[in-house]
Structure formats: C-alpha cells, structure tokens
Chains A and B, each alone.
Chain A
Amino acid sequence: MSVTIKSQREIELMREAGRILYEVHEGLRKELKPGMSTWQIDKLGEEMIRSYGCEPSFLNYNGYPASICVSVNDEVVHGIPSKDRIIGEGDIVSLDAGVIYKGYHSDAARTYGIGEVSPEAQKLMEVTKQSFFEGIRYAREGNHLHDISAAIGNYARQFGYGVVEDLVGHGIGQHLHEDPNIPNFPQRRRGIKLQAGMTLAVEPMINIGRPDVCWLDDDWTVVTEDGTLSAHYENTILITKGEPEILTLR
C-alpha cells in the first residue's frame, strides 16, 4: 500500500475521528481508579466510542478481541483486557484506542499512573510523552520521515531508556494501519519525504530497561523482556506545510 495523501474532505472526517477519540481518552482518564479490571476499562471505552456513533477500530482487527488495548506496567502494547486483571495503586496503565468515523480511523494512546506512582515511573511517562513532541517538531512538509524517528529515539535514549524497535507507528486513514512504518529510533535512510495531507500515527514506546520485547502466549500482549516498566504515547497527526496538526489532542 502506498502512502496516501488525504483530500480536504477526508481531512475533515479524520479531524472529527480525532476529536471523538480525544473525548474518549479524556472520559477514560477520569474513570481510571484502583480496583478496576482492565475488562471494565475496555467496556467503558467501547460504550463511549459507540455513544458517538463510531465503531472501535481495534475490535476484531486481525482477531483482536477488545476495543481498547490495556497494557499494565511491563506490558508495552496490545494488552488484552481481562476481568481478572485488576489495576492497583502505583501501576502505570497504557490505554490505546482507535475509532472509525464515517470510514476513517483515528488512533491514540496515553499512559496514566494509578494513584501515587514511583518517581521512576513518573519520569518514564513524561519522557515518553515528550519524545512524541520532540519527534513531531520535524513532522512538516519537506522534511523526511526518519527525521521524526531520530528525534524520538535520540531524546529518549538520553535518559538511558530502551526505545522499542520491534513495533512502530504507521500511516492511518481509511485503514487503521497504512504505510509508511514510522520507527521510533534513528534509521540509516532518510525515509520518504513528508507531504501535506499525510496522516500519521506517531507512537513512541519506551522501556525503562532494555529495548527488547517479547510476545506472550496470547500472541498479542507485548511485554518487556527484562520485566521493566514501559510507557506508550501516541497521537494521529496531519502533515501540513507548517506545524503538524495533532488530530487527537485539544
């Protein structure tokens, strides 16, 4: 699949998909509390998405069985919600969600601390979030895709963190996963030239320890190999001739 340039009409639809997803994340943020199961989080998220007349992007995507990926502590991404998985004080919880609005997807992830978290966990979440913003400073027409990758990776590695290399961001639009891949670490090549109208999901995944990850037996949940904490932060952005427009933030 080649990289798609969205028309003005498509951009308007993706703006709305992004706005709705922002509202869903805000709603979930307010509801998170110790004692909840990850299944409850998923159900709340699904209800919120459907209340806007949207479909959850992730539900049944390649067989994924839920609407929200809920990844706790050493889980990097794609955690499958479960009634048995209860979040507790001091956990960090990544919520990754997507919505389909009139055929167009948006995709965004946030990592939250539950109650009081350790200073190490707090710093990891802040650096992961900031690495996204460091990356998108380069997200404008005329720059190259891997300028974003390098900026994310170089920023996070300054803190001694492991930048996950096996999973990457992606283009987004009528499909949840479109080209191009967007690695979060420096590449040998510059990558494609960015053009106004591209829509990208930029999503650093950062570990306190080594970058290595492995998949659990459910074939979905990705965890850090060394068992250290991991954080995830993602937004869908629109490339323009100037500053990028972050479609899933207000």
Chain B
Amino acid sequence: MKEEKLEREDLKGVFAKSMAGHDKNAYYIIWDWDADAVLLVNGRNRGIGNPKKKKRKHVQIHRNQPVCSGRTDPEIRKAIQEYQRSKNGGEYVKG
C-alpha cells in the first residue's frame, strides 16, 4: 500500500508520450494512474476534468526528466508545449 502510494506520487506530473492509437506521438502529463492504466491530460482536448485513460504499455513514460508542476489546463498546456520543443526541436502534429 505504501509502495503504491509512493509510485503514484512519483508519476504525477511526469511527461508521457503516446505510443499507440491515433494520438500516437502526442505528449501528455500523467494525472493519475492505476495498476494497468494511466490517466493523461494535455490541457487541450484532455483537460483535468476529462483525462484520457490509456494502457500503460501504450505510453512511454519520461522518467528522470523535468516534471510538470502545473495543476491547471493552461499551465499544463504551456508546460507540454515547452517540453515538446525541448525534445529534438519539438514533436508537432503534422497537418
């Protein structure tokens, strides 16, 4: 129980990249998680009131990287935008 709580806190705010689905390559932050899935938010279509549930195996979790401390959608959106751009010139959505 203690270990689970610790990991839950450790992952909260960590950046993650979708590796499957039509949001493949999209960045999120981890809002919460359970044993099999993570709840992801991006401050856009997936805001804190409407997180996206995704299987953990379909997500690349960016441990040992900066963590998003933002707790509002605009803060999360901005943090993701900056994080994306810090990664190899940015991961954008192709039009």
Contacts and interface: CB of A to CB of B under 8 A. Distances in A.
**A and B found bound together:** yes
Interface stretch (A24-32, A34-42, A124-132, A162-170): A162-170
A169 B44 CA distance: 21
Interface residues of A, number: 31
B93 interface: yes
A98 to B, nearest CB: 11
Contact of B23 (A169, A189, A203, A219): A219
Contact of A201 (B50, B90, B92, B95): B95
Contacts of B46: 215
Interface in A173-195: 177, 181, 183, 187, 189
Best-buried of B23, B24, B50, B93 by chain A (most CB within 10 Å):
B93
B2 interface: no
A219 B45 contact: yes
A189 B89 CA distance: 8
Contacts of B45: 214-217, 219
Interface residues on B, range: 10 to 19
Interface in B18-40: 21-24
B94 interface: yes
A77 interface: yes
Given A217-B45, A219-B23, A96 B50 contact: no
A234 interface: yes
A215 B94 contact: no
Interface of B: 21-24, 44-46, 50, 77, 81, 89-90, 92-95
Given A64-B22, A77-B95, A168-B95, 13 more contacts: A63-B21, A109-B95, A170-B95, A177-B94, A181-B94, A183-B90, A201-B95, A205-B95, A212-B77, A214-B45, A214-B77, A222-B93, A232-B95
